[in-house]
Amino acid sequence: MSVLYRLAGQLISDLVDRNYFYLFDLEAFKTAKALNMAIPGGPKFEPLYRDMYDEDEDWNEFNDINKIIIRNQVRTEYRIAFPYLYNSRPRSVYAAKYHAPHCCYVKQDDPDLPPYVYDAVINPLPMQKADEGDDDKILDDAEDENEG
Identify the pLDDT of residue 80: 92
Report which of residues 51 and 20 the model is more confident about.
Answer: 20
Q: Is the pLDDT of residue 133 over 60?
A: no
3-state DSSP assignment of residue 27 = helix
Q: Which residue has the higher pLDDT, 4 or 14?
A: 4
pLDDT digits (tens, 9 = 90+) for 36-69: 898 888 888 888 877 655 555 566 666 666 666 6
Comparing 29 with 136, which gets the higher pLDDT? 29
Does residue 19 register a pLDDT over 70?
Answer: yes
What pLDDT was estimated at residue 114?
Answer: 86
- What integer pLDDT is reported at residue 54 of this predicted model? 58
CA distances from 123 to 33, 48, 85, 104, 126 (A): 43, 48, 40, 11, 8
pLDDT digits (tens, 9 = 90+) for 70-121: 567 889 999 999 999 888 888 889 988 888 898 878 777 787 888 888 777 7
Half-sphere CA count of 49, side-chain side, radius 13 A:
14
Q: Is the pTM of this model over 0.85?
A: no
What ranges do the domains of the chain cover?
A: 15-123
pLDDT over threshold 60, residue 135: no
- CB-based contact 84:31 (threshold 8 Å): no
Q: Please report the pLDDT score of residue 48 as a whole number.
A: 81
pLDDT of residue 79: 92
> Could you give the C-alpha distances from 35 to 1, 13, 79, 101, 111, in angstroms and in order?
45, 30, 9, 28, 47
